[in-house]
A = this chain, B = another copy of it.
Amino acid sequence: MTLSHGVDVRVGPGGHSGADASVVTLNGESVAVDAVAGVRDALGASDAAVTVETTLPLGAGFGVSGAVALGTAYGINAVYDRHRGENDLVSIAHCAEVTARTGLGDVVAQARGGLPIRLEPGGPDHGRLDGIPAAPRVEYVTFGSVSTEAVLSGDTTRLTAAGGRALADLRDAPTPSRLVELSRRFAREADLLTDRVADVIESVRDAGGDAAMAMLGDTAFAFGSGLSDAGYDPEVCAVHPGGATLRAAEHAESTPPDVE
């Protein structure tokens, strides 16, 4: 799902030393986001300065690395006049993220917005999408990180089988409540559930609601007021209907016409 608590990426024309192409400024600090190196490289902009602001934690299942890669692709295209189409930019960010092993399907979903359903794997030239037609309120609590790379580098047979079952069942009834139910089942069947998320889910279900785990992070989420009703003090946002969007630069007069 794409969240209104998103990631703002600003690209400047030059200013990055290029010594490490994965480095961005995230909430004022220099950090490495591996997928960014692939994007800078694919668009020939190793000197592009990338500044990221977000309230979401890295590595906690929110797809921040994918969002940074996607925002970098859109930003470089605009600032460096690369004249690429949206599919090209999404493909570049998707491939960079998959190569970095920090995510598999985040970028394509983030580009679409809403509650996407990935019918097939792959970038926008391959993988067909559908979506759940709803925009519910979202609550979440996060306890920390799970390494996506460690999971994707391990034996994913069980995970793939559980994912196939969940996807087939979701397509039969694509609603938000079914999404939570199937996500909860998937995390259990794929043996990904952390103890803390399992506790939250149990409490929410005892209170008459339902909750599931963010993939992949030590994070629980619910639609509506599932977490508050169970006594938690969650972060609250909404499903973002549009996904990745290009904003006008603050100093419009200094931007080329195509970026206005």
Contact = CB atoms under 8 A, between A and B. Distances in A.
A86 B135 contact: no
Given A242-B242, A245-B135, A248-B135, A130 B87 contact: yes
A186 interface: no
Contacts of A241: 242-243, 245-246
A200 B224 CA distance: 50
A130 B132 CA distance: 21
Nearest to A179: B258
Question: How many copies of the shown chain assemble into the complex?
Answer: 2
Interface residues of A, number: 43
Contacts of A117: 85
A152 interface: no
B171 A133 contact: no
Contact of A137 (B113, B132, B260): B260
Contact of A85 (B171, B176, B240, B247): B171
B176 A242 contact: no
16 contacts: A78-B133, A83-B173, A83-B174, A84-B133, A85-B132, A85-B171, A86-B131, A87-B130, A135-B248, A136-B260, A176-B258, A177-B257, A177-B258, A223-B257, A224-B260, A241-B243
Given A77-B133, A136-B260, A241-B242, 7 more contacts: A74-B133, A83-B175, A113-B242, A137-B260, A176-B257, A242-B243, A242-B245
